[in-house]
Chains A and B, each alone.
Chain A
Amino acid sequence: MIKDGAFAGVPHQVVYAIGMVLTAVVVLSAFVAPLAGITSWLERRVWARMQSRVGPNRVGPQGILQWLADGIKNIMKEDIIPTAADQKLFPLAPYIVFMGFLCSFVVIPFGANLIVADLNIGILYLLAVTSLVVVGILMAGWASNNKWSLLGGMRSAAQIVSYEIPAGLAILTIIFLAGTMSMQGIIKAQGWGPWDWFLFDNPFTFCAFFLYFTAALAEGNRTPFDIPEAESELVAGYVTEYSGMRFLFFFFAEWGNLYVIGAVATTLFLGGWQVPPLPIFDNHPVLLGMAQFVTFFLKAYMWVFVAMWVRATLPRVRVDQLMALCWKYMVPLSFICMLGTIGFMFMSHQGRRIFGALTLGFAIATIINFFRRVGFQFRAAKPEFYWKPHI
């Protein structure tokens, strides 16, 4: 019991617990807010350059503070709640979406010792809290009292619930291999080199990775699966009636979610924060920590970049095609991946290494072939060469 002060009569444990939660929230917010903001700037920049535009480049060097300007602008806008909207649920919905996204940062590891809570059910917890987003979206769609919002909300609910199944099954293959659901445990079961990653463990995990990534894009309402907010069909989907700060919260969650997708993919398949055991790290634990953080961050952002790239390239699928893709192709495929991985686990260590090496070779050949094709198209298009990274 605390004797005096504002908390007199309250048990110590409660005060400490509240203090810990508050600290975690502050630290996370301080990390997540710039992260989501800079991701939004990066997306607009990357997208602009792919579309032969310039993109935001006015606020700060190369426009890197654009997200701050947008945030301030949106905070200062009038908070409009339509009179016909549900007066309680309408303001609440963005926060639920945001909660679902923020809670996922609790289990995302940034380094060997840099994690809020290394839960022994880490990945399960992550799947559970990201499902909160669908509640918020459905709430937003319903409470807006707008037909477009409702359509968007219903589409989103159907989509996220469906795509959780292939995503969950793809994650299950990794849980089998690692023997744990803890995020740190999964990373520690892998090594620093690509040959030790679960991505190249066997052909089935290789497929499972792409299944996971596709399903995660769909869960994050990203193109080509952005039908809940398809602006050419549903005006703005479930965010049609939102403005100002509440609108920002939805997009905050969407852009931050991009990083979560990349981080989970990195953790599960790409060896997480594992760095080569260089002799310099033995005496400098801080350097080791920084190297791990940077490694993890770069790997995660590579997939964020791929998601932006996909968004700039592909059109949107129709809602029935979206469902058909999930239930007819991805769910059976992820089952096959799961069963195949189980089969591989009975194989001897040497045999698995051979298949892993073959998968790695196949991946490298694919990447080389990709660049050859790009080069061919490039020469066919005869573009003018210019190098202006700083417009």
Chain B
Amino acid sequence: MSDASTLTSLAGVFAQLSLLAFGGTNSVLPEMQRQVTEVHQWISAQEFAALFALAQAAPGPNMLVVTLIGWRVAALPGALVTTLGVAAPSSLLTFIGYNVWYRFRDARWRRLLQAGLMPVTAGLLMASAALLITTTSTDWGTAAISLIATALFLFTRLHPLLVLGAAAALGASGMLG
């Protein structure tokens, strides 16, 4: 399936996501899921959630789910295409914008636009969270883990990896259905 047309479609989908990802790649998770599971039907929604979880277990930026999707759809070439696809357009914009930025840093339109984008980003991130939680809460046990983990992330200073590890161990112990 790793033919040229699949690679081109992958590049197109992730390049577009790159330019929509205000507030980081997590805010485009619902659109990413819609594209890869519904529009192109490369993977299932369950697989999408599994790949997202797997990406959280790796170090580095939280966009690695993109690499895994590319890898799953079209092996190593796919992984490289999606990773570069999601990085190139926004990187180019940053590279160009870096020089312009300091001129407009204090411009009123820029501050207004930033203030306007903020609630949109918040809504998008909540949509990403809702999508992931409805996919991963397959029973009461996993739903409880999500609830407890959210509280731990919000109200304690525990290292995130510790919470992720504990949740995986709890799952492996067979206490969840």
Say if A and B assemble together: no
What residues make up the interface of A, taking CB atoms closer than 8 Å to B? none
Chain B contact residues, CB within 8 Å of chain A: none
